[in-house]
Structure 1
């Protein structure tokens, strides 16, 4: 049986750092890193609660694997979207306005 104060402090620090990164940063990659820090904090809580429980419930060992898998899939999809946005906009800054269209009639490219 482990004492849960340490993992709770580390998880709270990671989640707080991730929330700060999501709210303060305007770069898409740094925003993604903030989301991953939040997921890492929740993963620490899942693993610590599974290790601290007296019963060996199977979900306490399987659930972190699902979180890791979902986080990996999220990173792949988000980086693909960020790369596509960078190719179209030339920047991954989220506050930068979209570039003006080159068409003169205002309808956009067809």
Structure 2
């Protein structure tokens, strides 16, 4: 039998990796990938904790809600990154810190 501690350890490792990627990388695509890793770690924890819910629906529904929000977030973020690439010709976050008209 797999205990909840295993899921929490995997969630913590994924969140730590995602946070490290989001903080250390300068590429906008890699930062988005780090944020997605963090959201997936949260989903693993939500599903793991929903096993202790009597009807086991609240954690799973909240995880589904997080997935829908993450999909919308990545769509908008990729559209913004494409516009930034059209303007600056790169997606380095350091060089795009000055947005001018």
Please give the per-residue CA displacement for 1:45-80, whole angstroms capped at 9, x wherever unaligned. 0011112x1511531221111011001001100000
- Give the root-mean-square deviation of aligned CA atoms: 2.0
Q: Does the CA-based 8 Å contact 2:88-2:96 persist in structure 1?
A: no
Work out the number of aligned pairs and report it: 100
Per the normalisation by structure 2, the TM-score is: 0.89
Question: Structure 2: any 5+ residue segments left out of the alignment?
Answer: none
Structure 1 residue runs of 4+, over 4 Å off? Answer: none
Greater CA drift, 53-62 or 36-45: 53-62
Q: Secondary structure at the match of 1:63?
A: helix
Equivalence map 1:1-110=2 (5 Å) = 3-51=3-51, 53-96=52-95
Per the normalisation by structure 1, the TM-score is: 0.82
Please give the per-residue CA displacement for 1:8-63, whole angstroms capped at 9, x wherever unaligned. 11100110001101110000000000000100100000011112x15115312211
CA distance in 2, matches of 1:98, 1:58: 43
Say which structure is richer in helix. 2
